[in-house]
Amino acid sequence: MRWSPSLRLAGESGQLSDFIDGLGPGQLVGRQVLGAPALGDIQLSLCHQKGFLEVEVIRARGLQARVGSKVLP
């Protein structure tokens, strides 16, 4: 049996608890997600074929640069 850490916020409501409640049984919440504000929305498609992982950006909106990060011209 493998142990997987998870986070459930009992009795709390809001955007974070809605996000966490929407996770499946094999999905985990990283420490970065819990302490960082949202920097936009992104929808990805992941496909594993012939030993390669293909990542497709379906849509992205409201993207913001992280404070202190370098911005390309």
Task: Look at residue 27 and tell me if it is in a domain.
Answer: yes
Looking at residue 7, its pLDDT comes to: 46
Task: Look at residue 34 and tell me if it is in a domain.
Answer: yes
Q: Is the model's pLDDT at 11 over the cut of 60?
A: no
Dihedral of CA atoms 36, 38, 40, 45 in degrees, nearest 10, equals 80
Q: Is the model's pLDDT at 20 over the cut of 70?
A: no
Domain carrying residue 39: 13-61
* C-alpha span between 29 and 5 (Å, rounded): 9
Looking at residue 43, its pLDDT comes to: 92
Task: Look at residue 70 and tell me if it is in a domain.
Answer: no
Query: Which two three-digit tokens encode residue 15?
Result: 């955007």
Task: Look at residue 8 and tell me if it is in a domain.
Answer: no
Q: What is the DSSP letter of 42?
A: E
Beta bridge mates, 42: 60
Highest mean pLDDT among 16-20, 54-58, 69-73: 54-58
Task: Look at residue 35 and tell me if it is in a domain.
Answer: yes
